[in-house]
Amino acid sequence: MAVVAAVVLVATLLIGMVIGRSSVTVPAVPTAVTPTVVVQEPDASPLPVAGAVMLGEQPLTVFTADRALSNERGRAAGYRIVDTDIDRRALAQVFAETFGVDGPVVAETSGDWRVGSANGPSIVVRGDAQASWLFSDPTIGDLGRVPVREAALETARGLLGDLGVDLAGVDWQVDAATPRTTVIAWQTIKEQRTQLAWRVSIGRRGAITAVSGFAGTLQPVPGYPVLGAADAVRRSAQPGWSAFGPTPFVEGPATSDDLGEPGSPFTATSPTLGGRPVAVATARELVATDAELGLAEFIQPSGEILILPAYLLTANDGSRWSLLAITNAYVKFQPPPTPVISSSIRSN
């Protein structure tokens, strides 16, 4: 609670500073055990991430558009996160004063700015496109009573409000666990959760063990021209366009029923032709039967996060997929960076 009092005191000095005015992807707050999720209303799935590489094996999927699928073009707004006016060194110093972390502000080779040590309280302001930040204190003990959900939520509200977070634009989630409870404030757009959030971890006796957030500004980008849904589906079948979807829209954690039981590789029998095994690839053909224009997040090769107009497709098997809807003029393909080969390897 002393930390909260210090935050309130220092927050009065933060006029004109950029601390928590929009959304960013941040590292997960450390927790000792897997939490039990208690979701506050509204219980909504976050925006999908278009073009994201899915964990686990995913069969090749080929999409075609249903004849009745809408193909109306239009325009829609997107969003970007910008950090053009952020002094990360000054921001790290402000956080150090806010959370009572001693030590100089040190520049790291990664572009991050750090105050404190790895074994004690520390502040990190990252050099990513969102200027994400993290306060953590591993010295907080596990003695005392775990705060109830309502008390933890109230503490997080006060702390994030003092840091400048617009609480009217977030959706709350409380992960109750022992020895600490984590409160997540999800950034929303049009009352829908994004993948972006602030996190406050509260330990025994109400001690704050970690807080993470961002300093980037969520900036609207109006007027993106968008393809009709049928054209977007047809475009996705062209070489290279799978990088922009369709991407499975996962609602909630996957279960063993979703993934299926893996078969033994030693019991399968390959089909043959002329006595020779035939190579087999798993593929499925789906028909996009419905499309709703909305938003999806997209991560640039640079790490910049964009939130762009996208279709939420429903396939003939009931599955849902995200697919970017912006026209070709707003899409660019670039080769991957050339790997750096050291002089010792070249000499060998």
Residues of the chain with pLDDT > 70: what percent?
Answer: 77
Question: What average pLDDT score do residues 184-211 get?
Answer: 89
Give residue 203's domain range: 2-42+84-216
| DSSP letter, residue 93 | H
pLDDT top residue among 79 and 267: 79
Single-letter code of the amino acid located at 134: L
pLDDT at 58: 66
For the ranges 158-172, 229-243, 249-263, 318-332, which has the lowest average pLDDT?
249-263
Is the pLDDT at 303 greater than 60? The verdict is yes
* pLDDT band at residue 345 under the 50/70/90 scheme: low
pLDDT for residue 55: 44
Q: 178-195: per-residue pLDDT in tens?
A: 788 899 999 998 888 888
> Can you list the pairs that 194-199 forms with residues at least 24 positions away whose Cβ atoms lie under 8 Å?
194/23, 194/46, 194/47, 194/297, 194/307, 195/25, 195/46, 195/47, 195/49, 195/297, 196/23, 196/24, 196/25, 196/305, 197/23, 197/26, 198/20, 198/26, 198/160, 198/165, 198/170, 199/26, 199/28, 199/29
In a domain, 340, yes or no: no
The verdict on residue 320 lying in a domain is no
**325 lies in a domain?**
no
pTM (2 d.p.): 0.74
pLDDT digits (tens, 9 = 90+) for 227-251: 999 999 999 999 889 889 899 887 6
Q: Does residue 257 fall inside a structural domain?
A: no
The 10s digit of each residue's pLDDT in 254-291 is 443 444 444 455 555 778 888 888 888 888 899 999 99
Instruction: Identify whether 26 is part of a domain.
Output: yes
Q: With bands split at pLDDT 50, 70 and 90, how would you rate the model's confidence at 48?
A: confident
Report if residue 48 sits inside a domain: no
Q: What is the pLDDT of residue 192?
A: 85
Nearby residues of 57 by Cβ (< 8 Å), 6 or more positions away? none
pLDDT (mean) for 40-67: 71
Q: Who wins on pLDDT, 340 or 304?
A: 304
d(CA 342, CA 89): 32
pLDDT of residue 35: 36
What pLDDT score does 257 carry? 44
Q: Between residues 65 and 215, which one has the greater pLDDT?
A: 65
Tell whether 164 is covered by a domain: yes
| Locus of tokens 């109400």 | 206
Residue 107's SS3 state is strand
Model pLDDT, residue 44: 59
Report how far residue 188's alpha carbon sits from residue 171's, in angstroms, rounded to the nearest whole number: 7
Tally of domains in the chain: 1
Q: Render 240-256 in DSSP notation, one character per residue.
A: TGGGG--EE---S---H
The answer as to whether 245 is a domain residue is no
- State the average pLDDT for the chain: 79
Alpha-carbon distance of 174 to 329, in angstroms, equals 42
- pLDDT tens digits for 3-38? 444 443 333 333 333 444 443 333 333 333 333 344
